[in-house]
Amino acid sequence: MRSLVKLGKTQQRAAGKMMAGLLSLPAVTAAPARKTVRKAAARRAAAVPAAPGKWLLGHETVALPDAPPRRMSYWLYLPQTVPEEALRDGLPLVLMLHGCQQTATEFAQGTRMNLLAEKKGYAVLYPQQSTSVHAHRCWRWFDRATQAGGGDVQPVATVLAKVLRQYPIDRQRVYACGISAGAGMANIMALSYPDIIAAVGLHSGPVFGAGNGAIGALGVMQHGGGARSAEAIREVLMRRADFPTMPTILIHGAADSVVRSVNQGQLVQQSLLLNGLPADTAPRIRIEPAGRRGNRNGHVIRDYYLGRKLVVREAHIDALEHAWSGGDERLAFNAKAGPDASRMMLAFFAKHRR
């Protein structure tokens, strides 16, 4: 019990640092601390290749129109075992975007996505935000330029395009997901490149299109986007009248005090609007009880269909704080108790292709 309490306090401290860090700007005085973090992350990265596939590190320098060139690091997992379908059509790919106070390797280890990708025959791409852009590696989902498809979108899109060119990837099965700021970024990637992203998964993510600055972002995380939520999606649809459907799975904890679950409710409404469904569309509801041994939190799943096609899945999880459900609890922002968010993401993605 003491260990559980200690772990809970550790997670709370990490969340508090993340909230404060959102307002931080890169500073020269922070360099020694970043060096320590990189060394620690490198040691942890050695533990990531528990899966038998290839674990590749890459770098890409991206030219930006209104800013200095940016160098982005990324990791790519390629499974050792390739399904017969993938031998013919290429591997499905999941673009994984970490949250604030995380590295790409920590996200890979915490979610255990590589182990699952090995079993299911997926490639997984993990871009990493640079500390030169944000001292706490936050993707700037709240930045107006990023929301419009510039800013942080361009480096990620460049890395994704490079991987699609260099490796046998099935272009009809490219997906994006993330947690917290990474969920916000995954959502923006899907909205910016709907012909590439076949479905998107948002874990503990903020509503799209609000914030417009770090201080505004904190307000969104606590209170949602208000009337701006619907307006932001209408603007996306106005820019592109033939926007295709964007299947979306949304996972959120009822006890999340960092990005409160009001955001999930507003994201559901945004997803319904984006997919051409009325706001009062009735979902199919499934209630899953908690596991008897505490290994799984109770949760409610609401599925929304467009005809016979599942386009929006909302999973609201009891007792879950700001953490990846069913993850490796040794790392911050991961909760041991299920349901397993990684499995839920891949199961949903498997239903969709471009």
Domains of the chain are 2-20+46-349 (3.40.50.1820)
SS3 of 33, please? Answer: helix
At residue 27, the pLDDT reads 32
Cβ(111)–Cβ(48) below 8 Å: no
Burial 315-328 (b: 16+ CB within 10 A, else e): bbbbebbbbbbbbe
Closest CA to 170 of 115, 125, 123: 123
At residue 19, the pLDDT reads 56
Residue 44's φ and ψ, nearest 5 degrees, are -70, -35
Length of the chain counted residue by residue = 354
Closest CA to 230 of 265, 270, 263, 271: 270
Q: Count the neighbouring beta carbons within 10 Å of the beta carbon of residue 32.
A: 8
What does 89-155 look like in DSSP terms, one character per residue? Answer: H-EEEEEEE--TT--HHHHHHHHTHHHHHHHHT-EEEEEE--TTT-TT----TT-HHHHTT-TTHHH
Closest CA to 110 of 296, 322, 331, 321: 331
Amino acid at the residue 214: A
Continuous segment of H or E residues that includes residue 275: none
**Residue owning tokens 């979306």:** 248
Continuous segment of H or E residues that includes residue 236: helix 228-239
Closest CA to 200 of 66, 320, 94: 94
| Contacts of 69 by beta carbon, 8 Å cutoff, 6+ apart | 61, 62, 63
Cβ(203)–Cβ(177) below 8 Å: yes
Burial of 166 from C-beta contacts in 10 A (0-12 / 13-18 / 19+): exposed
pLDDT tens, per residue, the chain with 354 residues: 444 444 455 555 555 565 555 555 433 223 333 333 334 443 444 456 578 999 999 999 998 887 888 999 999 999 998 988 888 999 999 999 999 999 999 999 999 999 999 999 999 999 999 999 999 999 999 999 999 999 999 999 999 999 999 999 999 999 999 999 999 999 999 999 999 999 999 999 999 999 888 899 999 999 999 989 999 999 999 999 999 999 999 999 999 999 999 999 999 999 999 999 999 999 999 999 999 888 999 999 999 999 999 999 999 999 999 999 999 999 999 999 999 999 999 999 999 999
At residue 12, the pLDDT reads 55
Alpha-carbon gap, residue 331 to 11, rounded angstroms: 9
Burial of 41 from C-beta contacts in 10 A (0-12 / 13-18 / 19+): middle
**The two three-digit tokens of residue 215, written as one number:** 């201080």
At residue 294, the pLDDT reads 82
Q: Taking the CA atoms of the chain, what radius of gyration do you get in angstroms?
A: 19
What does 53-86 look like in DSSP terms, one character per residue? Answer: SEEEEEEEEEEETTEEEEEEEEEEEE-SS--HHH
